Amino acid sequence: MPTARESLLEAAGFAVERRPWPVVRMVEVAARAGVSRQTLYNEFGDKAGLGRALTNHRVTAFLDGFRAFCAARGAEGENGALTEATDWIVRSAHADRLVRASLTGCRCAGLPPPVRPPSRLVAELRESALRALPPGAGTAAFPDACETAIRLALSHLIAPPEPAAAPPDGSG
């Protein structure tokens, strides 16, 4: 059974995925979580505190997921693990607007503000990759390769590639 805090974070996440953060009401979050409004205020202080906690919760879950992904790929010693890890970043961040905004530094009016600067998140991703992934043949250059790969992954969040167009003759 989830704690009141977990239920409130889930309810706030549900709300922010459906409506802009400025119009999310605390009473609605509390009702969806099945707790009193007073419990919500006791837990987070105010709406800004709830927003910070929600963003931090989502970003922490994203980073934990990345660490687990890298650990699994590193244990397998797979070639291409860094490429797979950066693909994971793009897929996972694309699926979560709060994470995407935090990674790109977006100050979106419809979301609570990021709680960590993007440079810190890049550093955390890089260190996780360095600890877990096999460096391959270019051991000395691997730290720079991790940094570059992660930053390229983030560029896909900022400026996604165009979808592949169908060939003009209709084949494919």
Q: Is residue 32 part of a domain?
A: yes
Q: Is residue 163 part of a domain?
A: no
Output phi, psi for 126, to 5 deg. Answer: -60, -50
Number of domains in the chain: 2
Q: Residues near 63 by Cβ (< 8 Å), separated by ≥ 6? A: 121, 124, 125, 128
pLDDT digits (tens, 9 = 90+) for 10-65: 999 999 999 999 999 999 999 999 999 999 999 999 999 999 999 999 999 999 99
Asked if residue 110 and residue 41 are part of one domain, the reply reads no
> Angle 154-23-58 (CA atoms, 0-180°, nearest 5)?
35
Token pair, residue 15, equals 């709300």
Q: Which domain holds residue 38?
A: 1-45
Q: Is residue 164 part of a domain?
A: no
- Whole-prediction pTM value? 0.87
Q: Is residue 165 part of a domain?
A: no
Asked if residue 101 and residue 148 are part of one domain, the reply reads yes
* Segment holding 154, helix H or strand E: helix 142-158
Our measurement of the distance from residue 123's CA atom to the centroid of its chain's CA atoms, rounded to an integer in Å, reads 14
Asked if residue 154 and residue 98 are part of one domain, the reply reads yes
As a whole number of angstroms, the distance between CA 146 and CA 139 comes to: 11
Asked if residue 81 and residue 33 are part of one domain, the reply reads no
As a whole number of angstroms, the distance between CA 161 and CA 13 comes to: 27
